[in-house]
Amino acid sequence: MSADGDRRDPPRHRPPPGRIAPEALAAARGDAREGLTWLGRTPESRGPILYHAFRLLARFLCFGVFRFRIDTSGQEHLPAGGAYFLVAAAHRGWMDPFVVMHAIPAEPRCWFLGSAPSTFTAPWREWLIRRLGGLLPVWRGGLGLDQHVASARAVLGNGGVFAQMPEGTVSGPPGRLGTMRTGWAIIAQRLDAPIVPLAMAGTEELYLGRRMASRVLPSTTVRHLAGLPTDAGLPAPGSREELELARLMTDRLAEILGPVVEELHSGTIDPPGRPRRLRRRLTWLLLRPGRLDRDG
């Protein structure tokens, strides 16, 4: 037992627990509906009473009970009135969606394109999330991108905020970006909406009083990230040119976000002697347990 009251971390050579493939999870439940098909309604930009009550409860738990602290800045860069595509990194834990929501106004509300396998771990969670809204689930395994484009278009068309975390996993290195997938950039091309980068840090491990940080960066566009003239046309959907442009946009976004993530991370590091009470319990509170020494 460590001084902070938590069990010691497993040795670094011990592999993390085995993971069940998303495809196997979807097959086991006999239901892999995604996006709007799963939600069954238009994503609203004004949250119902249950949504606002849940936000208050979440804030009470995070800031009152767990005593988390989030230093956030850059809100002046948010487009007025919503209808923008927010792209956030680094994605390192279950707190990340709450860090995003802390950085932007409660309304117009934010909708995340997120992992169904890591979220729907119990029937009651799936029921609650459908009622609350805010998630458009993805079952990885090649069900196609068109329905995610449709989800994003529905959110933005209703004045909401569409959010995505391109790393797609929480297992990357602390304080640095991991590998960013290009799906977000394809969706962005087909929407051609304002893109708001959000840098986040400090969520890779959680304990009582943990410091985190976020910064909203100036909004940009598909053409600006790709280095194209403002009046340039965009590639045809599904073309090789679209994929190439998506990679170019992703590399450019990483160049923008990477240094800010590193800067923010340095301000979230506590001294080695600081107690890290409930570290393991809070770090994996809403995730399947894994390793705390996530250096890969």
Q: How far is CA 101 from CA 56, 97, 107, 112, 134, in A?
A: 12, 6, 10, 10, 10
Helix axes 123-132, 49-59, angle to 10 degrees: 120
| Percent of the chain's residues with pLDDT above 70 | 86
Is 190's pLDDT higher than 50? yes
Per the CB < 8 A criterion, the answer to whether 216 and 198 are in contact is yes
Strands (E) in the chain, as ranges, are 69-73, 84-89, 110-115, 135-138, 161-164, 195-201, 211-216
Q: What is the pLDDT of residue 263?
A: 97
Domains assigned to the chain: 50-283 (3.40.1130)
**In three state form, how does the secondary structure of 65-119 look?**
HCCCEEEEECHHHCCCCCCEEEEEECCCCCCHHHHHHHHCCCCCCEEEEEEHHHH
Residue 74 or 168, more confident:
74
Surface-to-core class of residue 121, CB atoms within 10 Å of its CB (0-12 exposed, 13-18 middle, 19+ buried): middle
Q: Using 50, 70 and 90 to split pLDDT, how confident is the model at 286? A: confident
pLDDT averaged over every residue in the chain: 88
- CA 183, 40, 99 angle in degrees (round to 5)? 50
Q: What is the pLDDT of residue 54?
A: 95
Per the CB < 8 A criterion, the answer to whether 294 and 204 are in contact is yes
Q: What is the pLDDT of residue 189?
A: 97
Is 22's pLDDT higher than 70? no
Overall average pLDDT of the 278-287 stretch: 92
Q: Which residues partner with 137 through β-bridges?
A: 114
Q: Which residues partner with 284 through β-bridges?
A: none
Q: How far is CA 168 from CA 92, 165, 186, 286, in A?
A: 10, 6, 15, 16
What is the reported pTM? Answer: 0.88
Distance, first Cα to last Cα, the chain:
26
Is 15's pLDDT higher than 80? no
In sequence order, the 6+-apart residues with CB closer than 8 A to the CB of 84 are: 78, 156, 161, 162, 193, 194, 195, 196, 219
Tens-digit pLDDT profile for residues 212-240 = 999 999 999 999 999 999 999 999 999 99
Overall average pLDDT of the 42-66 stretch: 95
